[in-house]
């Protein structure tokens, strides 16, 4: 599938669903390379390398699918304190490929480690040997197809040749487009914050458009920081901030075999020694990490396959957060709700349906429902102020906010999704052709 460049420039447009397109610059300790392994029938970048010449502390969360891809199996076996590289390919998921798929990753890791070791000898004053088990993999694309080991292996020398030790917005865009499948827009986000008196950067890219209903992660998300943070603290920070970001999105209710979100810390900024996630010096960093993750997650939902609307579903004043989560996703995953919104029909009866099937104890006479600022249901009854034409006009917007108030407690949860259009069917009916 060719990348639609017009959509890239469209994403800069302030009128688009996610208009605040961010320009990422340089992160010390990180190098990027992008090339084509000719995995697609049409020429496009499909192979991305992130290289940490001095190593990086790291943490990841992965899909909870019972049928995980071979690259996730590989990553779960890696137990090195520092990672030297992560190689990401698109077009092929390397899922349900068995021993051959895993063996392919071993071949690639061996080849890449040799090439990077040679580069160390050329570029570094104190070169180190890069080990195969210091390399992670990300794979995305079609499930069940033979993994193209040889094609990717042949492209590794070109990847090494194209390594850039300094980044700019163009290489970041190139990298984010290089991991896309059915996505129409690259997804990038950034924050700058302080740990103590030292300013650090948090940069991130993601891909995802379909097969998105995360459970511990999303399709692919990669976060990079120049801060000095241990792998154990990174893991805690990621788990803490993933639940209301990537685990709060759903495009189609389907969980991928390849979902992963990873964070890498190069340690180039020598900030204060952090011994615990409870360290007050981490407060601003954690908040900024949350913002980057949420920004990327929203971009994934807004770019869902065939999407014309970006939908926010906020469920508040529940007894428990789990209750709020169940109702929010019951609405977000409802095909009837999503098609009504696609058709710009303010059919609030479908919201009632979705609330009812969420298996949550509710009191009907306490429920309130809003579309944007338009009150539809108030204390379990149709609001006296409700006007169908106003709601119909609101449904023409690109951003749709649905608010549910159960008036039973203080807990809430917000999910993010998209509408279900004819284009979604077109994309997925000819996905492989």
Residue 217 has pLDDT above 90, yes or no: no
User: Residue 99, class by beta-carbon neighbours within 10 Å (0-12 exposed, 13-18 middle, 19+ buried)?
Assistant: exposed
- Give mean pLDDT, residues 81-94: 96
Encode pLDDT of 67-79 as tens digits: 899 999 999 999 9
pLDDT band at 89 (very low <50, low <70, confident <90, very high): very high
Residue 7 lies in a domain: no
d(CA 97, CA 143): 8
Q: Which residues pair with 201 in a beta bridge?
A: 192
CA atoms within 13 A on the CB side of 293: 28
Share of the chain above pLDDT 90, in %: 80
Helix (H) or strand (E) holding 369: strand 368-371
pLDDT at 369 > cutoff 60: yes
Q: List the alpha helices (DSSP H) in 78-230.
A: 98-123, 149-161, 169-178
Which of 271, 302, 333 represents a domain boundary (last residue)?
A: 302
What is the rounded average pLDDT of the residues 291-304? 91
pLDDT at 216 over 60: no
Question: Does residue 154 carry a pLDDT above 90?
Answer: yes
Residue 247, class by beta-carbon neighbours within 10 Å (0-12 exposed, 13-18 middle, 19+ buried)? Answer: buried
CB of 251 closer than 8 Å to CB of 301: yes
pLDDT digits (tens, 9 = 90+) for 25-44: 999 999 999 999 999 999 99
Asked whether residue 377 falls in the same domain as residue 298, the answer is no
- How many Cβ atoms are within 10 Å of 147's Cβ, its own excluded? 27
276 pLDDT above the threshold of 90:
yes
Shared-domain flag, residues 224 and 99: yes
Cβ within 8 Å of residue 52, ≥6 positions away: 29, 30, 31, 82, 83, 84, 85, 264, 266
Judged by average pLDDT, the poorest of 34-48, 59-73, 154-168, 333-347 is: 59-73
Per-residue confidence (pLDDT) for residue 214, from 0 to 100: 67
Over residues 79-97, the mean pLDDT reads 95
Pair (258, 320) in one structural domain: no
309-342 pLDDT, tens digit each = 999 999 999 999 999 999 999 999 999 999 999 9
* 262 and 316 co-located in one domain: no
Q: Residue 204: count other Cβ atoms within 10 Å of its Cβ.
A: 27
Higher pLDDT, 289 or 252: 289
Cα(429)–Cα(427) distance, rounded to whole angstroms?
6
- Look-up: residue for tokens 């000719």? 38
Q: What pLDDT sits at residue 426?
A: 80
The CATH number given to whatever domain includes residue 135 is: 3.60.70.12
pLDDT value, residue 431: 58
| Cβ neighbours for 91, distance < 8 A, ≥ 6 positions apart | 39, 40, 46, 141, 142, 148, 181
181-198 mean pLDDT: 93
| pLDDT over threshold 70, residue 17 | no
Specify if 1 maps to a domain.
no
The verdict on residue 218 lying in a domain is: yes
- Rounded CA separation 54/354 (Å): 51
pTM of the full structure: 0.90
**Chosen domain end from 249, 274, 302:** 302
Give the pLDDT confidence of 223-250 residue by residue, as tens digits.
999 999 999 999 999 999 999 999 898 8
409 or 210, which is more confident: 409
Contact criterion met (CB below 8 Å) for 253 and 337? no
Compute the distance between CA of residue 86 and CA of residue 159 in angstroms, rounded to an integer.
Answer: 12
At residue 384, the 3 state secondary structure works out as coil
Longest CA pairwise span in the chain (Å): 76
Both 111 and 242 in one domain: the answer is yes
125 phi and psi angles, rounded to 5 deg: -70, -40
Q: Measured between alpha carbons, how far is 144 from 321 in angstroms, rounded to an integer?
A: 37
- Evaluate if residue 387 carries a pLDDT over 60: yes
Rounded CA separation 303/403 (Å): 22
Q: Quick one: 149 and 32 in the same domain?
A: yes
Contact 227, 267 (CB under 8 A): yes
380 in a domain, yes or no? yes
> Are 91 and 211 contained in the same domain?
yes
Q: Which of left, alpha, beta for 142 (phi over 0: left; psi -120 to 50: alpha)?
A: beta
pLDDT on residue 409: 98
Domain range for residue 321?
310-429
Shared domain for 233 and 356, answered yes or no, is no
Q: Is 173 helix (H, G, I), strand (E, B) or coil?
A: helix
Asked if the structure places residue 13 within a domain, the reply is no
pLDDT at 2: 41
Helix then strand then coil, % of the chain, to nearest 5: 35, 25, 40
**174, part of any domain:** yes
Among candidates 65, 151, 160, 152, which has minimal Cα distance to 113? 160
In the Cβ-directed half-sphere of 24, how many Cα atoms lie within 13 Å?
29
Number of domains the chain contains? 2
Helix (H, G, I), strand (E, B) or coil at 427: helix
Which two structure tokens, joined as six digits, stand for 235? 């893991």
- The alpha-carbon radius of gyration of the chain (Å, integer) is 22
DSSP annotation of 198 reads E
3-state helix/strand/coil string of 232-278: HHHHHHHHHHHCCCHHHECCCCCCCCCCEEEEEECCCCCCCCCCCCC
- Catalytic, 140? Answer no
Do 211 and 342 fall within a single domain?
no
Residue 156 lies in a domain: yes
Q: How far, in Å, CA of 90 to CA of 207, rounded?
A: 10
Concatenated DSSP letters of 47-108: EEEEEEEEEEEEEEEE---SS--HHHHHHHH---SSEEEEEEE-SB---S-HHHHHHHHHHH
CATH number for the domain spanning 376: value is 3.10.20.340
Specify whether 143 is located in the same domain as 189.
yes
Residues 189 and 324 in one domain: no
Q: Does some domain include residue 5?
A: no
Which pLDDT band, with edges at 50, 70 and 90, does 22 fall under? confident
Looking at every residue in the chain, the average pLDDT score rounds to 91
Q: Which of 35, 90, 149, 218 is catalytic?
A: 218
């Amino acid at each position: 599938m060719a990348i639609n460049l017009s959509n890239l420039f469209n994403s800069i447009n302030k009128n688009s669903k996610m208009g605040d397109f961010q320009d990422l610059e340089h992160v010390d300790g990180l190098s990027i390379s992008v090339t084509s392994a000719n995995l697609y029938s049409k020429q496009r970048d499909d192979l991305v390398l992130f290289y940490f010449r001095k190593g990086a502390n790291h943490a990841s969360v992965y899909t909870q699918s019972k049928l995980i891809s071979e690259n996730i199996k590989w990553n779960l076996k890696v137990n090195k304190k520092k990672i030297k590289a992560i190689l990401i390919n698109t077009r092929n998921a390397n899922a349900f490929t068995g021993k051959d798929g895993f063996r392919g990753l071993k071949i690639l890791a061996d080849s890449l480690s040799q090439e990077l070791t040679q580069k160390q000898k050329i570029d570094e004053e104190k070169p180190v040997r890069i080990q195969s088990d210091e390399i992670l993999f990300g794979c995305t694309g079609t499930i069940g197809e033979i993994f193209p080991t040889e094609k990717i292996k042949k492209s590794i020398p070109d990847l090494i040749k194209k390594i850039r030790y300094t980044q700019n917005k163009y290489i970041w865009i190139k990298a984010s487009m290089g991991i896309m499948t059915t996505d129409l827009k690259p997804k990038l986000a950034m924050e700058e914050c302080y740990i103590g008196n030292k300013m650090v950067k948090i940069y991130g890219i993601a891909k995802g458009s379909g097969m998105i209903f995360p459970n511990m992660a999303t399709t692919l998300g990669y976060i990079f920081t120049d801060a000095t943070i241990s792998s154990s603290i990174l893991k805690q920070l990621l788990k803490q901030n993933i639940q209301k970001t990537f685990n709060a999105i759903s495009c189609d209710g389907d969980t991928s075999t390849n979902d992963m979100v990873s964070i890498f810390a190069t340690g180039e900024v020598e900030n204060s020694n952090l011994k615990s996630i409870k360290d007050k010096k981490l407060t601003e960093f954690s908040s900024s990490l949350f913002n980057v993750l949420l920004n990327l997650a929203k971009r994934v939902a807004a770019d869902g396959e065939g999407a014309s609307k970006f939908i926010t579903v906020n469920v508040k004043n529940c007894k428990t957060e789990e209750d709020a989560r169940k109702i929010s996703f019951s609405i977000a995953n409802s095909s009837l709700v999503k098609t009504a919104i696609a058709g710009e029909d303010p059919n609030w009866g479908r919201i009632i349906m979705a609330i009812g099937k969420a298996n949550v104890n509710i009191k009907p006479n306490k429920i309130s429902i809003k579309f944007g600022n338009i009150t539809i249901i108030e204390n379990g009854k149709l609001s006296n102020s409700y006007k169908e034409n106003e709601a119909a006009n609101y449904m023409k917007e690109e951003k749709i906010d649905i608010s549910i108030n159960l008036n039973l407690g203080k807990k809430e949860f917000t999910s993010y999704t998209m509408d279900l259009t004819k284009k979604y069917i077109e994309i997925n009916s000819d996905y492989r052709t």
